[in-house]
C-alpha cells in the first residue's frame, strides 16, 4: 500500500494556545481545516472562510467569512456578474447605478381602520378599502420611497393622514369616491413624519 503522510492535529480548543513552528502546518480536527503557523501566533491561522467551488451542486450554500474586494474589470467589462437573481440586505453604491428594469416588490395590506405604512419593508403596497382609514408611517429614513395603490369599494371612504406629512401638488385628500383607484406616493427625507413629502392622485 502507498505510504500515508500525517501532520500534527488537534481540536480547535487544543490549537488555541499552541504555537507551531514557523512554516508548520497542522490540522484542526474540529473545523476540518489546515492551520498555518509562524512560530509566534498562538493558534496559528486557520485556512477557512474561502469559497469552495462545487459546480456539481449549484444550489449549495457557500459562505465567505471575510471582506471581498474585486479589483478586476474596466469601463467596458464588469468586474462582477451574477447570471440569476441575487439577494442583498443592504447595498451602497458610490458611483453610477445602471438599471435596465426596476421591479418593486409588492405587498397586499389587509384593510383596517388604522394602517401603518412601513418605509422599511416593501416599496410597493396596495390596499382595498372597506371603510374609512387613518394612515400612519414608520421606518422613516433618508431617501426612502413608497408607493401605495388605494382602491375604494362601492362606498365613498374618508382618508386621514399624519399632520406632519407635506402634500405637494394639492392638499391632502379628505376622502376617496366609490369605486375609484388612487396612487399615494411618499418620499422620505429624514427620520420623522415631518420629513415625509406626499403626492396623491386619483382617477377621474
How does 37-69 read in b/e, with b if 16+ C-beta sit within 10 Å?
beeeeebbebeeeeeeeeeeeeeeeeeeeeeee
Instruction: List pLDDT tens digits, range 159-204.
Output: 999 999 999 999 999 999 999 999 999 999 999 989 999 999 999 9
Residue at grid coordinates 469559497: 51
Among candidate residues 47, 79, 98, the one where a domain is terminated: 98
140 shares its domain with 80: no
Count of domains forming the chain: 2
76 shares its domain with 17: yes
- For residues 33 and 8, give the distance between their C-alpha atoms in angstroms, rounded to a whole number: 12
Instruction: List pLDDT tens digits, range 109-121.
Output: 999 999 999 988 8
- For residues 22 and 41, give the distance between their C-alpha atoms in angstroms, rounded to a whole number: 10
Whole-model pTM: value is 0.61
134 shares its domain with 189: yes
Amino acid at each position: 500500500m502507498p505510504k500515508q503522510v500525517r501532520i500534527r492535529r488537534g481540536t480547535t480548543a487544543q490549537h488555541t494556545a499552541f504555537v507551531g513552528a514557523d512554516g508548520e502546518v497542522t490540522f484542526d480536527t474540529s473545523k476540518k481545516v489546515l492551520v498555518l503557523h509562524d512560530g509566534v501566533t498562538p493558534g496559528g491561522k486557520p485556512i477557512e472562510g474561502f469559497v469552495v467551488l462545487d459546480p456539481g451542486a449549484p444550489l449549495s450554500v457557500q459562505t465567505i467569512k471575510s471582506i471581498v474586494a474585486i479589483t478586476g474589470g474596466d469601463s467596458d467589462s464588469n468586474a462582477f456578474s451574477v447570471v440569476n437573481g441575487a439577494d442583498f440586505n443592504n447595498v451602497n453604491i458610490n458611483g453610477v447605478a445602471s438599471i435596465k428594469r426596476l421591479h418593486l416588490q409588492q405587498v397586499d395590506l389587509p384593510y383596517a381602520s388604522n394602517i401603518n405604512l412601513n418605509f422599511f419593508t416593501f416599496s410597493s403596497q396596495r390596499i382595498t378599502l372597506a371603510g374609512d382609514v387613518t394612515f400612519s408611517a414608520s421606518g422613516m429614513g433618508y431617501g426612502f420611497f413608497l408607493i401605495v395603490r388605494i382602491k375604494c369599494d362601492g362606498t365613498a371612504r374618508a382618508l386621514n393622514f399624519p399632520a406632519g406629512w407635506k402634500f405637494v401638488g394639492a392638499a391632502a385628500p379628505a376622502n376617496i369616491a366609490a369605486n375609484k383607484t388612487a396612487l399615494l406616493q411618499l418620499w422620505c427625507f429624514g427620520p420623522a413624519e415631518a420629513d415625509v413629502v406626499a403626492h396623491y392622485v386619483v382617477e377621474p
